[in-house]
Amino acid sequence: MPRSGPRSRSPRTAARVRPFREEDRPFVVSLADRTQREMRRLDRDRHPPVRRGEAAAWFEDALHRSWPRGTFVLVAELDGQPGGFVVAGPTDEPWSRGAAGRAARRTAAEIRELHVAPRFRRRGLGRTLLRAAEDRLAAEGFGEVVLGHLAGNDGAAALYEEQGFRPRWVLRVKSVRRHA
């Protein structure tokens, strides 16, 4: 197969997207754990070393307490196996607070997490998960969706740009130390 650009793409296969089921928990936790380690390689300042079991605790806390009411998880299967997941729902970000924010919260949703297992990447799974989440959010009455990704995650940046996401705000981070 000829290369088309800097990286060749794996053959695309039709993915099936469905709601999260309890038997997906080990896959979701394992993929989230792996992704946390990948993020640490991109940004050591913001992502301290990940200890075993942290992803499981994060997912449990987020699923039951941290994410706003109405948040949902979708899982994509490819070749009969789970290959990725997306978490989306109403936003509760700081920019959505205050009078203008209350109006934005009624119409703005957020893609909180989007993870694709490495062996399923570059096969259209991320795109399929994004579209499925967008369809559900639109059906629930949301008119806009926001998301973020770690600087340096060029694959995510390219996917989001291709799918019509445009930068609106730029977040810059700096470690602070006392100037004595």
**pLDDT of the residue at 79:** 84
Strand order in the sheet with 81-90: 16-19, 72-78, 81-90, 108-116, 144-146
The CATH number of residue 79's host domain is 3.40.630.30
Q: Is residue 10 part of a domain?
A: no
**pLDDT of the residue at 12:** 60
Q: What's the mean per-residue pLDDT of the chain?
A: 80
Question: Would you say residue 86 has pLDDT above 70?
Answer: yes
* Number of structural domains found in the chain: 1
pLDDT band at 93 (very low <50, low <70, confident <90, very high): low
Tens of pLDDT along 147-180? 988 888 888 999 999 999 998 877 777 777 787 7
Q: Which residues are within 8 A (CB) of 119 and not within 5 positions of it... i.e. 6 or more apart? A: 83
Q: Is residue 173 part of a domain?
A: no
Question: Would you say residue 129 has pLDDT above 90?
Answer: yes
Q: Which residues are within 8 A (CB) of 1 and not within 5 positions of it... i.e. 6 or more apart? A: 8, 11
- As separate numbers, helices (DSSP H) first and strands (DSSP E) second, the chain gives 5, 5
- Helix or strand (DSSP H, E) at 9: none
Segments forming the whole domain that contains residue 156: 16-162
Q: Is residue 180 part of a domain?
A: no
Question: Would you say residue 94 has pLDDT above 60?
Answer: no
Tens of pLDDT along 42-73? 665 655 556 666 777 777 777 777 788 889 99
Q: Is residue 89 part of a domain?
A: yes
Q: Is residue 179 part of a domain?
A: no
**pLDDT of the residue at 8:** 45
Q: Is residue 131 part of a domain?
A: yes
pLDDT band at 116 (very low <50, low <70, confident <90, very high): very high
